[in-house]
Amino acid sequence: MADTHAVATEHSSPHLRHHFDDMHQQFDSATFGMWVFLLTEIMFFGGMFGAYTVYRSMYPEAFAATSNFMNPAFGAANTAVLIVSSLTMALAVRAAHLGQQKVLQIMLVLTMIFGAAFLVIKGFEYHEHWVDGKVPLFPGHWMWDGPLAPPQFAHQAQILFCFYFFMTGFHALHMIVGLGIMTTILVMARKGTFGPDYYTPVEVSGLYWHFVDIVWIFLFPLLYLIGHTKNLV
Amino acid sequence: MSTAIQEPEVQETPNYLNAEYGWKSWLFTKDHKRIAVLYLISISIMFALGGVFAMLIRLELLTPAGDLFNSDTYNKIFTMHGVTMIFFFLIPSIPATLGNFLVPMMIGAKDLAFPRINLLSWYIYVVGALFALAAIVMGGVDTGWTFYTPFSTTYSNTFVITAAVGVFISGFSSITTGLNFIVTVHKMRAPGMTWGRLPLFVWANYATSLIQVLGTPVVAITLALVGLERAFHIGIFDPAIGGDPILFQHMFWFYSHPAVYIMILPGMGVISELVTCFSRKGVFGYSFIAGSSLGIAIIGFLVWGHHMFVTGMSMYAGLYFSLLTMLVAVPSAIKVFNWTATMFRGSISYETPMLYAFGFIGLFTIGGLTGLFLGTLGLDVHLTDTYFVVAHFHYVMVGGMVVAYLGGLHFWWPKITGKMYPEGWGKFSALLVFAGFNLTFFPQFIAGYLGQPRRYHAYAPEFQVLNVMSTAGASVLGLGFIIPLIYLLWSLKYGKPAGNNPWGAKGLEWTTQSPPETFNFPTTPIVTEEAYAYAKHEEAHVG
């Protein structure tokens, strides 16, 4: 027992937890752990993407027709917002690594602003679907008519819209969790927790943030752009 | 230090059990060994519950008429037997208890890489189990543990969502445990503990963790879709509007077939440890046993369709899945042959853990070979949904995993508690388990082959003899589980002090005191030899 404590206190960093030998091992374990977690996330979204792929190959025309009811302007705007937020996130990690406290906080705040902007735009979009009657989850909010809605696809389009809401909904949930993580990181950053010898939480949260962005990069073309026949604006 | 070692009474030395006292010291612990004990208690409760449901099933099937329960109640009973046993006992069983306790110790680490996440995984498990219990108390579920659509989404009038939420939540405890193990094995090994020196139990748990991490998220999303479909009636799995119920089965078995390897691989890891220790010999073909664990994990992801031969899946897909299923037999057979070769010319002794190991090898072989019958496309058409499937599954899961779990529990009980269990009672109940098990499940192979369908509360009278044998066997088996429960608890107070290494076993966990101190080792051990370096010259003779 006494020996163990002696070994642990030899390394002076207050952030070193008792069961690691040194900061390097701790950093490696944390980032590797996050990569493994992202692997589980790939499988989680992969299940939905897999089911989506099956239905799309069964009902390609119906799925093409439904994308006419998506608004690519919103989707494109959100894509841009998220890509920029990934940049600010990467800059935040770099600032933490270099010990630039002010830049770190600014970049974290910017990342959160872009993340929140994504959710606001997504909210407007959901509202539009609600008004349009494109929410098959709730009776009375599902309509399938008009020149862009061939009646033979009514049921199949309903399935696609369900996938749309599940996939974007689970993605939005991950964004909300991401905002919560960013808030925590920001609070820690304001206390001056991070510096060149300890920035693991920023790095690990950054990995998560980039992953959630990348999911959207796949969702955007699969849901908005397949067979879209209207003008983009 | 030196005075502490000379004291005869083990309880005097500081260890993980007496480091702190009070319920808070347990519920907020981050010590992997204490978390293992928490898991041990929780899964034992769920095992007892699942066992009660099993006995109710066997009681109903004592007579051909459906006289004890009506068919609806019977559906609920076998569903809840399956749900509690599979999701809340078998999946966490060895990884979360023995694995949690031993993986860090076997690689010379102070703890798992993420102790707080480890504790979190137990809380997640408890919340998931509470949902499952709530579903049971409110009135049960009747879909079978497989939650097949569209019955589960449209027609069942039971608490499907509550049970599915419970399974969904407990899945995350499985994921976090797997994640923790993977990172720990990669990053926390002691100096000299190379990949080629890892104990085979660690390899088995590593392979299991890969499946947990890659498979469990898929069943999570699948059950989420079932829940949403049931709540909102949107038709994703409803054929009436173009949904595909078979897609549910693909997604479900994509996880749930690999999940049976989550349930058996850690058991195989335990057997590798037991066979080497009680044969006093280095393991035969170390790299093949280690590699076959990974092989099972990988091939296991490619064979899910053999659960669906008769569901309307394409016949060509059936051929493919049947062929790949044969491949799983190769790494499984490698293990069985290598264990046998390890015992060859070993100085075998017959302590309780070794009796369980013998039981495992025999029963798993029967379970595995009948798996080949079922994986054979043409034969499966005849055997689908009969008691043959039930018997096969239980030979692997009870004859394999539960027997390995009991063997491992006896083997490491002295390390976990510092006390010896009574050896005579141990041997007696090991034999009881073996006899009771075979009496329970072997007749089911015959009944199933002759055509008794599973999941019915009544059956044709000509099957009664076989079913009476089965029910009698289940009673013996139940006794074989209750006796260890009693004497293991008894040994906590009255058992002889075990000493550091009662079996003369190799492995880092035996180099430290029993029970181990909080950080496992006084100083980080340095590994200088291969795993299972029992009598090295013995190997030369065999070679």
Where do the domains of chain A lie, and which CATH numbers do they carry? 38-225 (1.20.120.80)
Asked if B219 and B174 count as a contact pair (C-beta separation under 8 A), the reply is: no
Angstrom distance (rounded) from CA A12 to CA A150? 69
* Secondary structure letter of residue B65 according to DSSP: S
Q: How far B390 CA sits from the closest chain A CA (Å)?
A: 29
User: B310: which 2 tokens?
Assistant: 């008769």
Confidence of residue A120 (pLDDT cuts 50, 70, 90): very high
Cβ <8 Å between B179 and A50: no
Q: Which residue bears the tokens 């302007």?
A: A73
Give A-chain residues touching B186 at CB under 8 angstroms: 32
Of B220, B242, B524, the CB nearest to A156: B242
Q: pTM for this structure?
A: 0.93
Mutate to test the interface with B, among A4, A35, A40 (most CBs of B within 10 A): A40
- As to burial, measured by CB atoms within 10 angstroms (0-12 exposed, 13-18 middle, 19+ buried), residue A153 is buried
Of B111, B213, B247, the CB nearest to A19: B111
CA distances from B423 to B81, B417, B427, B493 (A): 31, 15, 6, 16
Give B-chain residues touching A163 at CB under 8 angstroms: 236
Percent of chain B with pLDDT over 70: 96
Residues near B474 by Cβ (< 8 Å), separated by ≥ 6? Answer: B54, B55, B58, B436, B440
The b-or-e profile of B451-472 (16+ CB within 10 A means b, else e) is ebebebbebeeebbebbebbbb
Three-class secondary structure of residue B152 per DSSP: helix
Cβ <8 Å between B519 and A158: no
pLDDT digits (tens, 9 = 90+) for A51-72: 999 999 999 888 888 888 888 8
Of B180, B217, B517, the CB nearest to A43: B217
Three-class secondary structure of residue B419 per DSSP: strand
Give B-chain residues touching A156 at CB under 8 angstroms: 241-242
User: What is the reported pLDDT for A140?
Assistant: 83
Cβ <8 Å between A43 and B218: yes
Q: How far A133 CA sits from the closest chain B CA (Å)?
A: 14
Interface of B with A in 277-316 (CB under 8 A): none
Residue B540, H or E segment: helix B536-542
Of B114, B188, B235, the CB nearest to A158: B235
User: What is the reported pLDDT for B3?
Assistant: 43
Q: Which residue bears the tokens 């190799």?
A: B506
Does the ipTM surpass 0.85? Answer: yes
| Residue B333 touches chain A, beta carbons under 8 Å | no
| Residue B186 touches chain A, beta carbons under 8 Å | yes
Of A4, A29, A45, the CB nearest to B187: A29
Cβ <8 Å between A37 and B179: yes
The b-or-e profile of B505-526 (16+ CB within 10 A means b, else e) is bbbbbbebbbbbbbbbbeebbe
Angstrom distance (rounded) from CA A209 to CA A186? 14
CA distances from B355 to B349, B350, B402 (A): 9, 6, 13
User: What is the reported pLDDT for B10?
Assistant: 47
Q: Is the pLDDT of residue A10 over 80?
A: no
Of A28, A47, A138, the CB nearest to B222: A47
Residues near B214 by Cβ (< 8 Å), separated by ≥ 6? Answer: A39, A40, A43, B258, B301
Asked if B36 and B516 count as a contact pair (C-beta separation under 8 A), the reply is: no
Question: In terms of CA atoms, which chain B residue is nearest residue A24?
Answer: B187
Give A-chain residues touching B234 at CB under 8 angstroms: 136-137, 158-159, 162
Confidence of residue A15 (pLDDT cuts 50, 70, 90): confident
Asked if B404 and B446 count as a contact pair (C-beta separation under 8 A), the reply is: no
Q: How far A29 CA sits from the closest chain B CA (Å)?
A: 6
Interface of B with A in 12-51 (CB under 8 A): 14
Of A36, A48, A159, the CB nearest to B235: A159
Q: What residues of chain A have any CB closer than 8 angstroms to a CB in chain B?
A: 1, 3-4, 7, 17-21, 25, 28-29, 32-33, 36-37, 39-41, 43-48, 50-51, 54-55, 58-59, 136-138, 155-156, 158-159, 162-163, 166
User: What is the reported pLDDT for A123?
Assistant: 96
User: What is the reported pLDDT for B95?
Assistant: 96
Give B-chain residues touching A50 at CB under 8 angstroms: 251
Residues of chain B with pLDDT under 50: 1-10, 537-543
User: What is the reported pLDDT for A152?
Assistant: 86
The whole-number average pLDDT for the span A136-145 is 84
CB pairs under 8 A between A and B: 121
Angstrom distance (rounded) from CA A86 to CA B54? 53
- As to burial, measured by CB atoms within 10 angstroms (0-12 exposed, 13-18 middle, 19+ buried), residue A13 is exposed
Residue B386: beta bridge partners?
B453
Per-residue DSSP letters for B166-182? HHHHHHHHHHHHHHHHH
User: What is the reported pLDDT for A229?
Assistant: 62
Asked if A52 and A165 count as a contact pair (C-beta separation under 8 A), the reply is: no
Asked if A129 and A225 count as a contact pair (C-beta separation under 8 A), the reply is: no
pLDDT digits (tens, 9 = 90+) for A157-189: 888 898 999 999 999 999 999 999 999 999 999
Three-class secondary structure of residue B192 per DSSP: coil
Question: In terms of CA atoms, which chain A residue is nearest residue B518?
Answer: A1
Cβ <8 Å between A166 and B228: yes
Give B-chain residues touching A59 at CB under 8 angstroms: 242
Asked if B143 and B81 count as a contact pair (C-beta separation under 8 A), the reply is: no
pLDDT digits (tens, 9 = 90+) for B124-172: 999 999 999 999 999 999 999 999 988 998 888 899 999 999 999 999 9
**Residue ranges of domains in chain B:** 30-542
Q: How far B213 CA sits from the closest chain A CA (Å)?
A: 6
Cβ <8 Å between B113 and A159: no
Per-residue DSSP letters for B227-287? HHHHHH---TT-GGGT--HHHHHHHHHHHHHHHHHHHHHHHHHHHHHHHHHHHTSPPTTHH
The whole-number average pLDDT for the span A110-133 is 95
| Residue B246 touches chain A, beta carbons under 8 Å | no
Angstrom distance (rounded) from CA B330 to CA B320? 17
- Please tell us whether the domain made up of B30-542 is placed in CATH 2.60.40.1930: no
| Residue B175 touches chain A, beta carbons under 8 Å | yes
Amino acid at A9: T
Q: How far B254 CA sits from the closest chain A CA (Å)?
A: 10
Cβ <8 Å between B225 and A40: no
